[in-house]
Amino acid sequence: MAPRLTDQRDIEFVLYEQFKVDAFLQSDKYKAFNKKMFDMVVKEAKNLAVKEIFPTYAECDREGVKFENGAVRVPECLRKPHQLLVEGEWGALTESQDYGGQGLPFTIAQAALEYLIGANYIMMTYPILGHGAGKMIDLFGTEKQKELFLKKLYTGIWGGTMLLTEPGAGSDVGALTTSAKKRDDGLYDITGSKIFITNGEQNLTENIIHPVLARIEGAPAGTKGISLFIVPKIWVNADGSLGEANDVVCTGVEEKMGLHGSPTCSISLGGKGKCRGFLLGAPNKGMEVMFHMMNEVRLEVGTQAFTSANLAYQHALDYAKQRLQGRSVEHLADHGAAQVPIIQHPDVKRMLLKMKAYVEGLRSLIYYVAYCFDKEATSTDEAEVRKYKNLTGILTPIVKAYTSEKGFDVCVEAMQVFGGYGYTREYPVEQMVRDCKIASIYEGANGIQAMDFLGRKVGGSKGGMLKSLIQEMTLTIAAAKQQERLKGLAEKLEAAAGLLEATCARAIQAMFSAQSASAFACAHPLLEATGEVVTAWMLLWRASIAVEKLDGKEAAFYTGKIKAAEFFIATILPATLGKLNAVTCENNPAADMDENLF
């Protein structure tokens, strides 16, 4: 029997015991639903993931994409599950039913996406990017633009992309050279080149809608002069019908370490002078519009890394229970003793418990961000709305950067459990390692996430973002202190949270001084340490629920929650304190390192 895709019982624990999402049924926004409907959505996502999507996971990696004469052919095995995703309207779970969505809470959607993304992230990039493009049109488009594009993007009938990066600009988006010239009919002629475009060309959908960043002639330099345009691969007529091909050409496909079933394209716009586009939003406000999609995608990248880690953990756990090797520690001297499953060896237990702690902590973290979105959407109290907005703001770069790095680490740890077999294609964990690595690089490399975390989030809302985070941690700590078994863990987390707050204050002060370079040199270590404190918080929160349920029939399940918290806080958090103490915001050696000394 194949290992399970994910831990259904733990998903239920997070939804209904940790975050109590059924309380959202009392709000006006979600009163049309009931718990049975929530559970049915998650169950159907599981069925689709297990039966139709996961079987394509290894196959699409082996087959890869084919590029010929400007056209990309994706692995044929993706066609059927993609059609099922379209028919089931899985591409816009939280959006209005008027446009092909299902109007679900973000937390329930997150549970469904854990199954779908975990089964094959490559497959899910197609509806995810379509939804992202549609969301920008939903928020900033004209009524006519919504009429033309929104439903087909949300349902996945049409694909979407995100055309930001250029060969000479990279992450410095403000240095782009793609230009836009207004036409007499109100449209724009677009000219330029883009690279690293996920699904920029593919044969799964009848059309692809490209959101393109470009500079209108005469606009200011830098990001302040960037506008956003809707550029269809096939022109969309005023009545919604498809017209002639737009002047959008795929010039190449990258050979990558992983994600072989997803084309990463170079795109030429207006090479024949015939690329047309619609202005989306106001002129020179393109980055403001694009950030809505980028933040959404960054959370989904965190989910990609988490589900890769979870899948790798499930496979490693299953393998460790079955693989016989060596004698137990108690019988090392007895050469006649029988071999035991490797899960009985202390070091393998250590690796598995470490993976379990990260996977469960990261699951709660990602679901918590979804929960904050739901709280913000359903609350009528202005102060509460502001609090949850602060929390999603400060946690977004953590979900993207910290989860992508620790998710990759878990995949590597899983490979270690398999030993030499893990390094071969006989087992799927080597693909998980390859596919997961990109999460720390694309959609804003983690160094950029760290700069955003320090520069905009730690001091954001006049310190309100960090204050909201520390206050929520304090509530969990106070509750855990009332439990004798958890009191010591709570005190250790309390010390870590206090040191985190003080370190952040020191980093902010340095950022606005002559030591700003030193402050940004330590931005990534600070973000990593914050991620560890937040993960410890999530695990303690889980343990504080579990400790009251140890006498029932699920005693083993709940005891596992406490063990995960104990392991993380006892073995990972002490190193976190060292990382925080090592955040050197003054005279950081990296800041004044002359390039000639390398």
DSSP code for 163:
B
**What is the model's pLDDT at position 587?**
86
261 within domain boundaries: yes
Q: Are residues 148 and 207 in the same domain?
A: no
Contact 530, 398 (CB under 8 A): yes
Last residue of a domain, one of 107, 137, 155: 155
368 within domain boundaries: no
List 443, 494, 532, 566, catalytic entry: 443
84 within domain boundaries: yes
Long-range contacts of 553-562 (CB under 8 A, 24+ apart): 557/9, 557/13, 560/356, 561/13, 561/360, 562/485, 562/486
Enumerate the β-bridge partners of residue 341.
Answer: 324
**What is the model's pLDDT at position 386?**
95
Q: Are residues 131 and 44 in the same domain?
A: yes
Token pair, residue 58, equals 């290894």
Token pair, residue 376, equals 């913000």
516-520: average pLDDT: 91
Q: Are residues 129 and 190 in the same domain?
A: no
**What is the model's pLDDT at position 170?**
60
Q: Are residues 133 and 206 in the same domain?
A: no
Helix (H) or strand (E) holding 205: none
Q: For the chain, how many structural domains are there in total?
A: 3
**What is the model's pLDDT at position 335?**
87
Mean confidence (pLDDT) of the chain? 94
Which of 29, 146, 48, 62 has the alpha carbon at shortest distance from 99?
A: 146
Which domain CATH number covers 69? 1.10.540.10
Q: Are residues 23 and 141 in the same domain?
A: yes
534 within domain boundaries: yes
320 within domain boundaries: no
Last residue of a domain, one of 95, 122, 155: 155
8-27: average pLDDT: 97
Q: Give how far Cα 451 sits from Cα of 37, 97, 224, 365, 526, Å.
A: 41, 38, 19, 21, 10
Instruction: Report whether pLDDT(362) > 90.
Output: yes
**What is the model's pLDDT at position 334?**
87
Q: Please write the tens of the pLDDT for every residue from 372-381.
A: 999 999 999 9
Q: Are residues 142 and 191 in the same domain?
A: no
Q: Give how far Cα 548 sits from Cα of 214, 461, 490, 557, 558, Å.
A: 57, 37, 16, 12, 9
**What is the model's pLDDT at position 547?**
97
The whole model's pTM is what? 0.95
Q: Give how far Cα 450 sits from Cα of 370, 378, 402, 445, 571, Å.
A: 21, 30, 10, 9, 24
- 222 by Cβ neighbours in 10 Å (0-12 / 13-18 / 19+) ranks as middle
Contact 377, 104 (CB under 8 A): no
How far, in Å, CA of 75 to CA of 65, rounded?
A: 6
Q: Are residues 46 and 110 in the same domain?
A: yes
**What is the model's pLDDT at position 290?**
82
Q: Are residues 146 and 169 in the same domain?
A: no
Q: Residue type at 218?
A: G
**What is the model's pLDDT at position 298?**
87
395 within domain boundaries: no
Instruction: Report whether pLDDT(200) > 70.
Output: yes
Instruction: Report whether pLDDT(165) > 80.
Output: yes
Which of 41, 156, 128 has the alpha carbon at shortest distance from 304?
A: 128
DSSP code for 592:
T
Contact 10, 363 (CB under 8 A): yes
Q: Are residues 83 and 183 in the same domain?
A: no
Task: Write the CB contacts of 383 (distance below 8 Å, at least 6 apart in sequence).
Answer: none
Q: Are residues 207 and 138 in the same domain?
A: no
Q: Residue type at 488?
A: G
Q: Are residues 20 and 149 in the same domain?
A: yes
Instruction: Report whether pLDDT(169) > 90.
Output: no
Q: Please write the tens of the pLDDT for every residue from 281-301.
A: 999 999 888 877 777 888 899
Last residue of a domain, one of 137, 155, 173: 155
Instruction: Report whether pLDDT(168) > 80.
Output: no
Q: Please write the tens of the pLDDT for every residue from 493-514.
A: 999 999 999 999 999 999 899 9
Instruction: Report whether pLDDT(1) > 60.
Output: no
Contact 456, 397 (CB under 8 A): no
Q: Is 443 a catalytic residue?
A: yes
Between 578 and 1, the higher pLDDT residue: 578
154-175: average pLDDT: 84
Q: Are residues 167 and 101 in the same domain?
A: no
Which domain CATH number covers 215? 2.40.110.20
Least confident of 8-12, 88-92, 346-350: 88-92
How far, in Å, CA of 187 to CA of 172, rounded?
A: 27
355 within domain boundaries: no
Contact 249, 268 (CB under 8 A): yes
Q: Residue type at 385?
A: V
Residue-number span of the structural domain to which 272 is assigned: 159-286
371 within domain boundaries: no
